[in-house]
């Protein structure tokens, strides 16, 4: 009996490991109609955050037997044109971001009038329901900013720079507003051109050199964290650097102590859940959220969390 139980336990453990490995590779497709779902975002290739969003969406599409179409453009007008193209293709579901919601209003409402179910992700939480979307998936940006402000307080910091790398992005403004709401010190917004990383570095370096009271730099995207660390070093500043969002490089920097903390909003989950929810809606007319946002963050991560996260960042899911 003891031997039998031992064998079962060993087999069960091995089976669990095999199932986990298969899950990472992608689950098998369901036996449902092959619906077509389009995702149109305001950013895309070359940005590790959006690579992770897309990876999650593609895995859900494989599982759900979905034909997945992906496109993006940083210019709001062109993003709206891509949404129109998806409408013209007669997609069965649409996932969009509303970083610049005014430019997207008409085309999203057009999709809804055409009977296309819409889910918004990442940005535009406050406008999503107004435009007719069934749900919004992401973090509350103001709440995330407030979490950063509280974290800065706990570290005894007094003056922060909030680095905005995309002008007009309402989510970025909300993050900095949230930091300012809870931080006991002062916060200066620094607007930079996120498409020009050397310019970002030089702007931040100049700011740190001109104001020695700055003891915290908060970047709003993972790709900008390493640049901020470099700028602080070159400026001779001892300012602590933290960031919104997570990728493999950020996890390494947390582990090495170059970054103090990161705010994770789980982009993989945003992409995966959006596609999966639209499949569920087409299959069963069901939807999560009850008219409220489906929150994927914020989660404040430090160097203590880095080792546990490395497995997931290596495979591109965190």
Residue 143 structure tokens: 């709440």
- Pair 28, 59: CB distance under 8 Å: no
In this predicted structure, what is the pLDDT of residue 116? 98
Architecture in CATH of 141-264: 3-Layer(aba) Sandwich (3.40)
Which residues of the chain have a pLDDT value below 50?
A: 1-20, 22-25
Domains 30-139+266-287 and 141-264 share a fold: yes
CB 269 within 8 A of CB 52: no
Smallest Cα–Cα separation from 188: which of 213, 209, 159? 159
Work out the mean pLDDT of the chain and round it to a whole number: 91
- Give the per-residue pLDDT at 28: 56
The structural architecture, per CATH, of the domain 30-139+266-287 is 3-Layer(aba) Sandwich (3.40)
- Give the ranges where the chain is alpha helix by DSSP (H): 2-25, 48-64, 76-88, 101-113, 125-128, 141-154, 170-182, 197-210, 225-234, 248-256, 267-284, 303-314
pLDDT value of position 48: 87
Task: Look at residue 314 in the predicted model and tell me its pLDDT.
Answer: 86
Domain range list for the chain: 30-139+266-287, 141-264
Tokens of 274: 């959006």
Q: What is the pLDDT of residue 32?
A: 82
Q: For residue 239, what are its two tokens?
A: 């300012």
């Amino acid at each position: 009996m003891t031997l039998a139980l031992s064998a079962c336990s060993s087999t069960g453990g091995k089976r669990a490991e095999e199932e986990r490995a298969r899950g990472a590779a992608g689950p098998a497709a369901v036996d449902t109609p092959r619906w077509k779902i389009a995702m149109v975002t305001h950013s895309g290739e070359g940005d590790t955050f959006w690579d992770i969003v897309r990876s999650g969406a593609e895995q859900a599409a494989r599982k759900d037997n979905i034909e997945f179409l992906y496109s993006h453009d940083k210019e709001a007008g062109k993003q709206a044109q891509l949404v129109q193209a998806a409408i013209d293709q007669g997609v069965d579901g649409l996932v969009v971001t509303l970083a610049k919601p005014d430019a997207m209003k008409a085309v999203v409402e057009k999709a809804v009038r055409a009977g296309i179910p819409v889910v918004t992700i990442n940005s535009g939480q406050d406008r999503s329901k107004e435009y007719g979307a069934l749900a919004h998936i992401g973090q509350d940006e103001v709440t995330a900013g407030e979490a950063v402000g509280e974290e800065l307080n706990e570290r005894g910091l007094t003056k922060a720079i909030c680095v905005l790398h995309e002008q007009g992005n309402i989510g970025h403004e909300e993050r900095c507003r949230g930091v300012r709401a809870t931080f006991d010190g002062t916060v200066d917004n620094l607007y930079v051109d996120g498409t020009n990383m050397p310019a970002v570095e030089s702007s931040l370096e100049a700011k740190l050199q001109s104001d020695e009271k700055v003891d915290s730099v908060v970047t709003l995207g993972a790709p900008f964290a390493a640049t901020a660390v470099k700028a602080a070093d070159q400026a001779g500043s001892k300012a602590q650097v933290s960031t919104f969002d997570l990728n493999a490089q950020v996890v390494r920097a947390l582990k090495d102590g170059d970054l103090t903390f990161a705010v994770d909003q789980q982009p993989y989950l945003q992409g995966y859940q959006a596609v999966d929810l639209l499949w569920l809606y087409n299959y069963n007319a069901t939807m999560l959220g009850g008219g409220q946002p489906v929150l994927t963050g914020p989660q404040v991560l430090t160097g203590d969390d880095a080792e546990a996260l490395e497995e997931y960042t290596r495979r591109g899911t965190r």
